[in-house]
Structure 1
Amino acid sequence: MIAALLISVMMMSPAQASAVDPPNDHVTIEKLKVNGTGCRANTIAVGVSPDNQAFTVMYSAYLAQAGAGAGNKDQRRTCSITVRLNVPANMQYAISAVDYRGFAHLEPGASATLSARYHFQGTGAPTYTVHSFASGLDDGWQVTDSVGSGLVFSSCGKDRKVDIDTELRATADRADAPTSLIAMDSTDSEVASTYHLTYRNC
């Protein structure tokens, strides 16, 4: 029911240095900007895991729907946020994988997609992925994007801003079809998006 298309896994040139354990010092994250039809500033929370191995983005009102009762604007929802991760000055970090979670109810003839990208400001091309969901799905979903060997690290001594853009899109085979939807939200204590981190020394 879920098909993932990895369009690009490179943001900059691959890293060469070996990864090290997460820092013992507390890593912090700042939410600098929130914008989009699928999110408002008070519907998003960000945080760093206690072990400093990931940062999370939690949505509470991110949903696209199509069919009866849904307007054209409801079929496509977007969210753009900018965060800044503050790590020890002698360390760099890279995003090694991303988990996305949510719920979908797709009637016969309906489909949905999740598009996602993230990018260190001031660097090369972003990482961009598209995940497709077919009719018949009526459950929670989870997809994972893994960067593999193409890790790209932040600059030494600089707390790079990270732009995160996502889009949810739902389609139905006719306007009066039963309502179908896809949501990316934090339910049952599950975090909507988890960005796994890898570190190295400067």
Structure 2
Amino acid sequence: MVSVKQAGSLSNAKRPLGCINTTIVFGFKTSIHSTDLSELVFTFGRMLASLACFVALASAVAAAPAASLAVPAGFTVTGITFTGTGCPSGSTIVVSTADKSAHTATYSQFYAEGALGIPVSSGHLTCTVSLAATVPAGYQLGIQKIEHRGYVELTSGAKVSKSSVYTFTGSTTPATSSANYLGPASQDIVTSDSYTAATTIKSPCGSNTALNIVTDVDYDTTVAGASGYIAEDSLDIHFQFLSC
């Protein structure tokens, strides 16, 4: 699934106090904004919004969409791991439903940026999320929905991109998703990938597996004087269950 978007510009260059943008306040570099008094007040407001947003995310996970089949007895997620430059140890938080059919991860350091004086390595970050699962006999796991939320702030001529690959361990069929954003821009971004029982990738029948989500964010600009960043703030994962 591919989407190319010409991002719109907002009159206020500061990031709005939306739920999507909250976690970046804990990890963002001060090179993006000035540090005058108004900025400090704005940043404090974003920190308060972060706390409120985390509660909202937990509520959203609890209200996960209905799966194709009910969650089968014996299904569980035994572990969730994060690896990569965009999700170092201590930079993620996970909220899960009681039946383990839905999960929300939030990030504090998953952003790619570019500007004069910023190392090229800061323009590409990656994160692999792996959800190990026990699947009972007669069932397969599928993806019902994966939703990425984030933010872009770009000057004219700046370009960023985000791409994801979804796979189940033991299955060779991947699903992919990508989006490109062009400056000028200062806005929330959402990439939502939904699947039916017929279109989802599937885990092997009755076999323990892991859903692997590999996401890359890139600052792709070579235009002189351009600058900006793309941030991945949170990730929603909803499983569906299929008979086999």
Please report the TM-score for the alignment, with normalisation by the length of structure 2: 0.64
* Larger RCO (CA within 8 A; separation ≥ 6): 1
Does 2:173 match 1:125? Answer: yes
Larger radius of gyration: 2
* Residue pair 1:87, 1:159 contacting (<8 A) in 2 also: yes
Alpha-carbon spacing, 1:87–1:45, altered in 2? closer, same or farther (3 Å)? farther
Which structure features the higher share of strand residues? Answer: 1
> How far off is 1:59 after superposition?
1.6
Alignment of 1:37-186 (within 5 A): 37-50=85-98, 52-87=100-135, 91-148=139-196, 149-177=198-226, 179-185=227-233
Question: Which segments of 5 or more consecutive residues in structure 2 lack a partner in the other structure?
Answer: 5-66
* Residue pair 1:27, 1:88 contacting (<8 A) in 2 also: no
Deviations 1:136-158 (A, max 9, x none): 22121111122343123323432
Does 2:235 match 1:193? Answer: yes
Alignment of 1:24-43 (within 5 A): 27-32=76-81, 34-43=82-91
CA distance in 2, matches of 1:176, 1:22: 52
In structure 2, what residue type is equivalent to 1:151? T
In structure 1, what residue type is equivalent to 2:148? Y
Structure 1 stretch 43-52 or stretch 77-86: which is displaced more? Answer: 43-52
Q: What's the counterpart of residue 3 of structure 2?
A: 4
Structure 1 stretch 144-153 or stretch 82-91: which is displaced more? Answer: 82-91
Q: Secondary structure at the match of 2:189?
A: strand
Runs of 4+ in 1 over 6 A off after TM superposition: none
> How far off is 1:173 after superposition?
4.4
> How far off is 1:53 after superposition?
4.1
Question: Which segments of 5 or more consecutive residues in structure 1 lack a partner in the other structure?
Answer: 6-17, 186-191
Structure 1 stretch 82-91 or stretch 69-78: which is displaced more? Answer: 82-91
Query: Could you tell me the percent identity over the aligned residues?
Result: 24
